[in-house]
Structure 1
C-alpha cells in the first residue's frame, strides 16, 4: 500500500457527494441499532473518505470506511456527515475498506472470506493480511489454503464456529477417501479438536461436501453463483452419476427379487411344505409376490 497517506482532518461533507466503493449487505437489526444510537447520542466516530476531482469541477469523495454510519445519517434525513478526509489512491482506499470490514468482524462469513481473498489477490501476503485485519497469521494461512482447494463449504463452517480450523485442515488433508476422512475425524476427536456438537456438525458437513460438492450454494460475494458452461457440465455429470447409481441399486434389487421368487416357486412346488403352511395358516403371500409365484395369484 502507498505509504504516502496523509493524516486526515475532519470536515462536514455533503452525503450526496460520497460514493461507496466497497458496498456490502447489512443485517437489518444491526443497522437499526446504528440508526438508534446515532439518533440518541449522535455520531461518536466520523466516517473516513478520500477526495476525488471530477471533470465538471464538483468535489466528490470515495468512502473508505463507515458505510453503516453513512446510511444511518441518510435514513435520518441528514444532508451532511462528519468525515475524516485522507489522501489515498483508489486502490489504497479499496484495500483500507476491505481491511476495516474484516478487522471489525461484523460482516457475514461470506463477506469476510471474500475480503481475505481479495486482499491476497491484491498481492498481500498472509502475514500482511493478518497485520491489517487483526487476525492471526496461522488463521489466514489456513483459510487461504482451504479457499485455494475450493473448500468453501468447510471454510464457511470454520468462520461460523461450527468446526475448528485445524479440524477442517485435517479433513482436507484426508482427500476424498472415506476411510481416511473417518480416520481424520477419529484423530480430531481423540486429540480434542472435535468434541460434542462440533463432531456432529463435522459429520454433517462432510456428508454435504460429499453429496453436494465442496462449493457452497453461494459464491464468495454472497450472491447466487453465475451459471457457466463448466458448472452446467459438472451438474450434468453429477446427475448422470446419481442416475447410474440408482440404476445399479435397482438392478441389484431386481436380482434379489428374482432369486426370492424362484426359491418360493420351488418351495411351494413341494406339497408337504404347502400342507404345513396351510396347517399354520401361512399359505398366503403378499399380492406382489403371489402374482409372480403363482399364475393365478394364490396357492392351488
Structure 2
C-alpha cells in the first residue's frame, strides 16, 4: 500500500479545507469522531491527511485519499487549513489507495468492509490482489466475496445492522445460493442464541451431508436442494442428534479400545506359558490376526 510519507514524490504542505473533496466518504461513529476532535485539541494533528491534486477550469483542487475523520475534525474546530501530504497519482490509484487505507486500518464496520472489498473487485482485482493490498488473508477475502454473491438479502442486512458478525455470516452463506431456507434457518438460530461459533458450521455440515446422502431434514427422500420447510428448530434438532450420534460413536470406540487392551493383556500372559504355546502349535492354532500379533509381541509374531 502506498503511503504519502514513503513516496519520494510526495510533499507536505498546508491545504485550504475548501479545496479538498472526499473521494471515498465513510460513515463514522460519533463517539470515535469526538475522540478525534479531543485528541487534535490536546496534542494537535499527529499525522497529516493524504491528498492528490487535480486541475480543472475552476482552478486547483484536491481529492482526499486518507484522513476523512481528521479533515472533518479540523472543519468542526473552525480551522481553514490542514497539513496534507500531497501525492501525484491518477484517479484509479487514488481510489484504490483510499479503499485499501480504510480497510487496512481495521476500524471499519462489517458493511464498510464488504462494500470496500466489492469495490476493489469491481475495479478488476482478484481475491489474491485484494488480500495483498488490504493485509487480509485470501481466504477471508474469498469468504466476503462469497457472502456478497451467495448471501441472502436478509443476511446482508443483519450484518449491516450489526446483529450478526461478519465471520458468522460468511459461515452461513457457505450453505450456497440454492439453500436460502438453510441460510434463513441458520441466521435465525444464531440470532436466537441456539447455535453459536463452531456449532453453526457443524450444523451446516450436518445438513449438507444429509442432502448428499439423499435425506431431507426429516429423513425423507429429497433432491439435492434443501427442503423449503427447514427451520431453526429443525436445524438445531438435527445438530443435536448429530452431536449425540458422535458421542455414541466415541463411547463405542472407547469400549472397543478397553476390550482390546484386555484381550491383548490376557494373550500376553497366556503366550508367556511355553507349554501352552507348544500345545497350540501341535493343534495348528499358533497364529493370530496380525493386528493382535503386533500388540502381543512388539517385534512381531513369535516364531
**Structure 1 length as normaliser, TM-score?**
0.55
* Candidates 13, 16, 20, aligned match of 1:14: 16
Residues 50 and 86, structure 1, Cα contact 8 Å, conserved in 2: yes
Post-superposition offset of 1:106: 2.1
Structure-2 change in CA distance of 1:26 and 1:20 (3 Å): same
Q: Does 1:168 align with 2:172?
A: yes
SS of 1:88's equivalent in the other structure is coil
SS of 2:62's equivalent in the other structure is strand
Post-superposition offset of 1:94: 1.2
Distance across 1 between alignment mates of 2:24 and 2:67: 11
Query: 1:259-278 alignment to 2 at 5 Å?
Result: none
SS of 1:107's equivalent in the other structure is coil
Post-superposition offset of 1:107: 2.7
Distance across 2 between alignment mates of 1:7 and 1:165: 42
Distance across 1 between alignment mates of 2:35 and 2:146: 36
Structure-2 change in CA distance of 1:162 and 1:145 (3 Å): closer
Residues 142 and 165, structure 1, Cα contact 8 Å, conserved in 2: no
For residues 182-227 of structure 1, give each alpha carbon's deviation from its aligned partner in whole angstroms, at most 9, with x where no partner exists: 8xx9xxx99x7227xx999x9xxxxxxxxxxxxxxxxxxxxxxxxx
For residues 115-159 of structure 1, give each alpha carbon's deviation from its aligned partner in whole angstroms, at most 9, with x where no partner exists: 110100000010111111111110111111121124354456498
Which residue pairs with 2:198 in the alignment? 193
Distance across 2 between alignment mates of 1:103 and 1:131: 10
Which residue pairs with 1:60 in the alignment? 61
Structure-2 change in CA distance of 1:162 and 1:150 (3 Å): closer
Query: 1:22-37 alignment to 2 at 5 Å?
Result: 22-37=24-39
Which residue pairs with 2:83 in the alignment? 82
Query: 1:110-129 alignment to 2 at 5 Å?
Result: 110-129=111-130
SS of 1:23's equivalent in the other structure is coil
- Structure 1: gaps spanning 5 or more residues: 203-300
- Structure 2: gaps spanning 5 or more residues: 205-303
Distance across 1 between alignment mates of 2:9 and 2:172: 42
Residues 150 and 173, structure 2, Cα contact 8 Å, conserved in 1: no
Which residue pairs with 1:46 in the alignment? 48
Give RMSD over aligned pairs. 3.6
Distance across 2 between alignment mates of 1:94 and 1:173: 31
Distance across 2 between alignment mates of 1:100 and 1:118: 13
SS of 2:179's equivalent in the other structure is coil
Which residue pairs with 2:247 in the alignment? none
